[in-house]
Structure 1
């Protein structure tokens, strides 16, 4: 059930990027899609009953792999920086164009 919600989140973001004409809505849809991808990765990499990889001197047990956590943190930081860069680009476009509608921007910038 949770997988279906995550898949629906990714699809909503993907189709909103394609169908929405406002640039800010496209940026928001990209953020929704990346959140769904990160949630799917967390869901796939999570396991019940695993322990943190800390040496306590007890018997050997199944430890959780810390690499997916590092990958998720890196993906969040990279997604945030990409979103900031895209928002700066949208801000530059809004200075030259009176609207953020994609078709109007294309009309204004074609020779």
Structure 2
């Protein structure tokens, strides 16, 4: 696949997640859509950071001056994955607590029941 095709697919995933957050009414589906969008953003970051012809940053005495991969994007992606997982877990706990008071997780029904 060409780079522009991969970028189009990644942007499609981001937009699917974005529109899922906006148009889905169930809270669980909103959380899953946010996870899809987060996955798309991480995939785009990896796509931008990917370069051909570079090697792992392991220095060997026999190697001369070659192009090494920058380890910072890898660390940023691992941090983003961990933070995304913890945010998703926190939101699911909030939905579990909300489900104790409401028989449904539809946002319109929750808003109706808590309107003064």
TM-score bucket (shorter structure): over 0.9
Decide which of 17, 40, 65 is 2:21's aligned counterpart.
17
Alignment of structure 1 residues 1-111 onto 2, 5 Å: 1-57=5-61, 58-111=63-116
- Structure 1: runs of 5+ lacking an equivalent: none
Runs of 4 or more, structure 1, over 4 Å off, are none
CA RMSD of aligned residues (A): 0.5
Secondary structure at the counterpart of residue 74 of structure 2: helix
Q: How many residues were matched structurally?
A: 111
Normalized against structure 1, the TM-score is what?
A: 0.98
* Cα displacement string for residues 55-77 of structure 1 (whole angstroms, at most 9, x for unaligned residues): 10110101100000000000000
Counterpart Cα distance in 2 of 1:103 and 1:63? 53
CA deviations on 1:25-70 (whole Å, 9 max, x unpaired) are 1001000000000000011001111011111011010110000000
Q: Which runs of 5+ in 2 are unaligned?
A: none
